[in-house]
Amino acid sequence: MIMYYFVFGFFYLLSLLPFFMLYLFSDAVAFVLYHIARYRRKVVYENVKGSFPEMDDVEVRRVVKEFYRNFTDNWIETIKLLSISPETLKKRMQGNFDVLHTLHQQGKTAVGISGHLFNWEYMNAVLGLRQPYQLICVYMPLTNKAFDRLFQFIRSRFGPALMAATTLNRDIITWRRKQYLLGLIADQSPGDPGKAFWLEFLHRPTGFVTGPERNSQVFSQVPVFATITRRKRGHYFVDFQLLGNDYEPIRERGEITRLLAQRIEENIRLDPSLYLWSHKRWKHPWKAEYQGQWIDSRYPVPENGK
């Protein structure tokens, strides 16, 4: 408990600094991570190179360097959420929320899905201010209790209810008779690759978690995708659009995941440096035994290991 108040107090005071000072700090941290600590530099480089084989080495290194600055900006901006005013947040994360208003008027329940593109924390925060649903923000609990409590405060500050990803399947049942918007970041590497859906994503066979599709179908959630772009440093735009062709849940097996992977890839290609390349997205290689989980109609089932 004491540690939480120490952590909260330190980061709250840090959040009170003006943006220009925070970005100077971000630049310094990015320099240390890239040049000195070399934080996951090999992982980042290999992820970018494998995803964009058409890029030469100069272009890959440019994307990697820009990623590190965007990476530290993301967390500096997240700290700023401790004290940022609603008016400032809405100026820095603008967007198109029309589809959410339409779905709400129709009495539908929705699931908003995105990838790990910066700044997804701003997007989650502004959703509590710019659309009519009760937002349920799904998060992954942190091992460190003080930081876990800090992030729960940040993510719930503008109205969202929080739901741990580890208990989502159980906890979402209590909302089955209510109208809500479930917010998911759904491009994580699957825990069990044998139960994942597999398809071609950024030039490689890639496993996707099945939870977003399963929950959408079980609870009749209309899937909506959030495309995040950056207009300038610290200023973003999020565009919510239906994942399918109409205002109804999608029932076909694998269709939500196929569309989701396609939209995430399109979003990444708009500005590759905004994607979270530091996580080990492709740590699970394709195996022939997963062929029953291959859902990509655009490509044949790959050979073992390819």
Q: Going by C-beta distance under 8 Å and a sequence separation of 6 or more, which residues neighbour residue 76?
A: 22, 23, 25, 26, 29
The pairing of beta strand 204-208 with beta strand 197-201 = antiparallel
Q: What is the pLDDT of residue 303?
A: 81
State residue 114 phi and psi, 5-degree precision: -150, 175
Segments in 93-225 forming alpha helices (H): 98-105, 120-130, 145-156, 168-171, 211-218
Looking up tokens 């503008």 gives 158
Query: Facing residues of 200 across strands?
Result: 205
pTM: 0.95
- The 10s digit of each residue's pLDDT in 103-116 is 999 999 999 999 99
The structure tokens listed for 39 are: 């934080």
Q: Which of 203, 222, 185, 213 is nearest to 265 (CA)?
A: 203
Q: Residue 305 class from Cβ within 10 Å (0-12 exposed, 13-18 middle, 19+ buried)? A: exposed
Calculate what percentage of the chain has a pLDDT beyond 90. 96
Q: What is the pLDDT of residue 209?
A: 95
Q: What is the pLDDT of residue 237?
A: 98
Average pLDDT, the chain: 96
Query: Facing residues of 261 across strands?
Result: none
Q: What is the pLDDT of residue 1?
A: 76
The structure tokens listed for 40 are: 């996951």
- pLDDT band, very low/low/confident/very high, at 306 (cuts 50, 70, 90): low
Give dist(CA 117, CA 263) in Å, integer.
Answer: 12
CA distances from 42 to 45, 54, 72, 188 (A): 5, 19, 18, 19
Q: What is the pLDDT of residue 305?
A: 61
- The 10s digit of each residue's pLDDT in 144-177 is 999 999 999 999 999 999 999 999 989 999 998 9
Q: What is the pLDDT of residue 169?
A: 87
Calculate what percentage of the chain has a pLDDT beyond 70. 99
- Mapping DSSP onto H, E and C, the string for 219-245 reads CCEEEEEEEEEEEECCEEEEEEEECCC
Sign of the C-alpha dihedral computed for residues 203, 207, 212 and 218 taken in this order: positive
- Coil, helix or strand at residue 208: strand
Length of the chain: 306
Largest CA-CA distance found in the chain, in angstroms, rounded: 56
CA distances from 209 to 52, 179, 222, 284 (A): 23, 24, 18, 12
Per-residue burial over 95-113, b = 16 or more CB atoms within 10 Å of its CB, e = otherwise:
bebebbeebbeeebbbbbb
Q: Which of 161, 157, 111 is nearest to 134 (CA)?
A: 161
Per-residue pLDDT averaged across 252-277, rounded? 97
- The 10s digit of each residue's pLDDT in 13-71 is 999 999 999 999 999 999 999 999 999 999 999 999 999 999 999 999 999 999 999 99
Give dist(CA 265, CA 280) in Å, integer.
Answer: 16
The structure tokens listed for 61 are: 């290194």
Q: Give the DSSP letter string of 24-79.
A: HHHHHHHHIIIIIS-TTHHHHHHHHHHH-TTS-HHHHHHHHHHHHHHHHHHHHHHH
Per-residue pLDDT averaged across 165-194, rounded? 93
